[in-house]
Structure 1
Amino acid sequence: MKEFLSNEEIKFVYLDISENMLNLKMFLKYRDSFPQFSDIKESGRVGLPCIVINNGEDIIFDKSLLDIDALKLQ
């Protein structure tokens, strides 16, 4: 997803959860708190990669579901 967003010239912050504990905790906060992860957790998956838009306004797991034009305006 990182390469895809870069190629589309979309501004984003990339966080690697294995880089440090803060990044892992941030991801786990979303994973444990947001209903978008319910099906993923029930099926035993982690939920990565994912794109969190505007602090959880939307969480996308499939890049084909992104509204690229809307993201470019942000």
Structure 2
Amino acid sequence: VLVIGGHTGVSETDVVEVFQRDAGTMANGTYTLNTARNGCTVNTLADGRVLVIGGLSGSSASWLSLDGAPLASTEVYVSR
């Protein structure tokens, strides 16, 4: 399971992590996002790549406020 972006409680994150269900552990992925983002949409493409769409950037310290600027950018993550 991929965990992409998010909010640290202070700012957005550019981290991509992999949750390994069988082991119950998290591991850093081999990729970081070009743009730190929170609340993005993620879709798996037919060829197995993962498309990361939009989200927010530059929000305040409160992750509950969701007051960041909407992102119009996309990124493609290639799982290895």
Asked if Structure 1 and Structure 2 have the same fold, meaning a TM-score greater than 0.5 normalized by the shorter chain, the answer is no
TM score, norm. by length of structure 2: 0.24
Give the TM-score normalised by the residue count of structure 1.
0.25
Higher helix share: 1
Q: 1 or 2, which has the higher strand percentage? A: 2
